[in-house]
Chain A
Amino acid sequence: MSLESAATLAAPVSRPNALPKMTGENVGVFYGAKQALFDVNLKIEQFNVTSLIGPSGCGKSTFLRSLNRMNDTIDGCRVTGKINLDEDDIYDPSIDVVELRARVGMVFQKPNPFPKSIYENVAYGPKIHGIARNKADLDEIVHSSLRRAGLWNEVKDRLQEPGTGLSGGQQQRLCIARAIATKPEVLLMDEPCSALDPIATAVIEELIDELRENFTIVIVTHSMQQAARVSQKTAFFHLGKLIEEGKTEDIFTNPKNKQTQDYITGRIG
């Protein structure tokens, strides 16, 4: 199947009047003296999946990590410009980064379950944020998160077993369950399928489409088929700059920029 037909056939239609959930204005990121991201302006639409594509080192992961300020954990990293979540500037000194990360959850490239039981993995976020009022409440959150992550049927009988004992694809869905258990508004995914086999990848892609009902999702991916299948909006990054963004079907069928066209047809990257 060619890229174009993948985009037109499989990509779900974007919501007609989607509101911007997050907006980046002139976002720049520096690692020490080196600038990794230049003047990015991007709107992330609510309840849509936005995919960030581009060759390695193009700054797409850097941009993703600046959306929940995970860049703060890197020594010497500095962010300029402005990023808003709804009305709030997330780099404003009055914003508590802990609260921000509870609203903007993240799933990483490599599944990273904690060395705890499956139950404790999912209950971790709700516990530290005091979301559950009592044990029954917590149970309900854990169970529903696992259900929404499509993992419930596989683990319901072994919730007390270590999360590290699951298969790679199951671990990644556990991490998704863990992220949605804190009831975030936005879910960031940094190449969530790159460590998984095609079958586990298909399961996660399906899951992403279901999660769109309740969450705004931003996904970084190296697979253009994946971007075409799961996202409604696509942004193409190259050498730290945002080259082109728009509706996924437009980007893949009718790119305006030469570089974008070269990339999606496999000539660069």
Chain B
Amino acid sequence: MSAGWVVAIVLAIGALAYFFAAQRARVQRDGTDRSKEVAHSLPTYHGWLAFIFATVPALLVFLVVSSISAGLLDSRIRSEVTAHIADPAAASLSIGIVRNASNALTQLDLSGANVPTSYAALRDMATSAGISLAESGEDYMVPLAAGVNADAGVHKLIGQGLTLLLALAGAALAYSRIRLRLRARNQVERVVLWSLLAASTVAVLTTVGIILSMLGETIHFFSDVNPLTFFFGTVWDPRFAAAGSSGSEGQFGLIPLLMGTLYIALVSMLFAVPVGLMAAVYMGEYASNRVRSTVKPLLELLAGIPTIVYGIFAVVTLGPFFRDLSAALAGGFSFIQAQSVFTAGIVMGVMLIPVVSSLSDDVITAVPRAMRDGSLALGATRSETIRKVILPAALPGIVGALLLTASRAIGETMIVVLAAGVAARINFNPFEAMTTITVKIVNQLTGDLEFNSPQTLVAFALGLTLFTLTLGMNVYALYIVRKYREQYE
């Protein structure tokens, strides 16, 4: 029986429990004189309570047993393989082979006496069934794989039996508890509350998980590379080594990447902030309702375009255009390269315009109407009102919005991968190529890799640096927005 069936059966038990519990509650309610005793909860609440009793503990147990089983099987494979092979790198390869072999056995439906004795025989049978296995397997792996499969079968039986028993027991318990005065409604509400809480915890836990996983790999990286040479190194030259060989040392200087990141973000902000702010002022203060209701969604449509599309636009259209334009301006010599800080910054700026304008528009329209009226009634023009009253009042919010935008610019990947180039160097000419942290993360993780050399692990250190940077900016932005929110009201 597969896991899907188990879940389906549990849910079916839950549905039946709902039906019978609601029915029983209804019968109890209708059999009582209302003037003497009143039912506490509606029958549907009793039904839901029975459903929860039947399904929630059963499914939780199913999940726990399954994960314990996976851990047990994993540790059995690991211990038996390491008994044969000492070298950890080779062992991890062999563990993979054993797993594939046990999968193949399951798919071929082989167990007990049917299991072939040699790995080569198993591989032949698998190949003829269209399943590919690695060549380098050894004979001891076959009985191990079969044994693991047998264990898995036992675990599965225990887990599924326990789950179904619990579902039935839960349903029976809930059914037997039904009384007129049972506070089923409050109990259901409590479960709802907990599940809402669990949903909101998912995001937080994911963040924590991301940080922890990156932190582990980053510490691993810093055991090979001195943090000082990483954070203050000015040369980026990771020198990819051929797989398996070691000894070639790379240089992992963060500074050129950080500078490229900040430089491109700066160019994009220089473009996006004035344009976006002016668009927001127009939308918030000048545009008639009709214009606003058409132009604003169009502007926000820009935010929905995948950034890779912007990247393609930059590399296919805008980059060559700037190159040819600069050639025409300078009389033959194109001082703007096709991939450059300038091109990437402009395209990223276009991407950021809706972010800036939408966030600032919200802030500007939040300034109370009384402020506008007060200024206009004193004989100020519209633009005086905007410059002297509305923008100052909205400034904290706008600064917060700009910080959020800047952290978007710093974390942006696909545009810079295509438009900025891969040359990691310290450079102040915006018309030449530079590269960013995100580009190098992509570079270092592209291809078939093992995460045990500094060349790949550096990606985690870069990722964590980037994460810290943008998190810091977001926190600061939220702090500013909160601090000055009480300006009016």
Contacts and interface: CB of A to CB of B under 8 A. Distances in A.
A114 B379 contact: no
Interface string A234-251: 000000000000000000
Interface string A105-137: 110101011111000000011001100000000
Contact of B370 (A68, A105, A110, A128): A110
Interface stretch (A175-183, A200-208, A209-217): A175-183
B292 to A, nearest CB: 11
B377 A106 contact: yes
B389 A114 contact: yes
Interface in A165-204: 175, 178-179, 182
Interface stretch (B6-14, B27-35, B87-95, B380-388): B380-388
Nearest to B395: A115
Contact of A73 (B289, B371, B376, B379): B376
Contacts of B375: 114, 124
A14 to B, nearest CB: 27
B372 A128 contact: no
Contact of A101 (B288, B371, B377): B377
Contacts of B5: none
Given A101-B376, A125-B380, 20 more contacts: A70-B373, A75-B288, A98-B379, A98-B380, A98-B381, A101-B379, A110-B370, A112-B368, A112-B370, A114-B375, A115-B487, A116-B392, A124-B380, A128-B378, A128-B384, A128-B388, A164-B487, A164-B488, A178-B378, A182-B379
A102 interface: yes
B350 interface: no
A99 interface: yes
Interface residues of B, number: 22
Interface residues of A, number: 27
Contacts of A108: 370, 373-374, 377
Given A128-B388, A164-B488, A114 B371 contact: yes
B379 to A, nearest CB: 4
Interface string A43-80: 00000000000000000000000001010010100000
B379 A75 contact: no
A181 to B, nearest CB: 8
Given A114-B389, A128-B388, A164-B488, A175 B379 contact: no
Contacts of B388: 124, 128
A128 B376 CA distance: 11
Interface of A: 68, 70, 73, 75, 98-102, 105-106, 108, 110, 112-116, 124-125, 128-129, 164, 175, 178-179, 182
Interface in B104-162: none
The 3 A-B residue pairs with the shortest CB-CB distance, nearest first, are: A102-B379, A112-B370, A106-B377
20 contacts: A73-B372, A98-B380, A98-B381, A99-B379, A100-B379, A102-B379, A105-B378, A108-B373, A108-B374, A110-B370, A114-B375, A114-B389, A114-B393, A115-B487, A125-B378, A125-B379, A128-B378, A128-B379, A128-B380, A179-B377
Contact of B374 (A100, A102, A114, A182): A114
A102 B375 CA distance: 11
A213 to B, nearest CB: 21
A112 B392 contact: no
B381 to A, nearest CB: 6
Of B370, B376, B378, the most chain A CB neighbours within 10 A belong to B378
A112 B378 contact: no
A121 to B, nearest CB: 9
A102 B378 contact: yes
A182 B379 CA distance: 9
Contacts of A182: 378-379
Nearest to A175: B374
A106 B374 CA distance: 8
A183 to B, nearest CB: 11
A235 B372 CA distance: 29
B371 A68 contact: no
A75 B291 CA distance: 13
Nearest to B370: A112
Interface in B337-396: 368, 370-381, 384, 388-389, 392-393
A141 B380 CA distance: 18
Contacts of B368: 112
Contacts of A75: 288-289
A13 to B, nearest CB: 30
A73 B375 CA distance: 12
A194 to B, nearest CB: 14
Interface string B477-489: 0000000000110
B373 to A, nearest CB: 6
Contacts of B373: 70, 73, 106, 108, 112
A125 B377 CA distance: 10
Contacts of A164: 487-488
A16 B309 CA distance: 78
Nearest to A106: B377
Contacts of B381: 98
Contacts of B374: 108, 112-114, 175, 178
A115 B393 contact: yes
Contacts of A105: 377-378
A110 B373 CA distance: 11
A109 B240 CA distance: 72
B377 A124 contact: no
A164 B371 CA distance: 12
A187 to B, nearest CB: 11
A75 B285 CA distance: 12
Nearest to A127: B388
A112 B370 CA distance: 6
Nearest to B393: A115
Contacts of A175: 374
Contacts of A73: 372-373, 376
B395 to A, nearest CB: 10
B377 A70 contact: yes
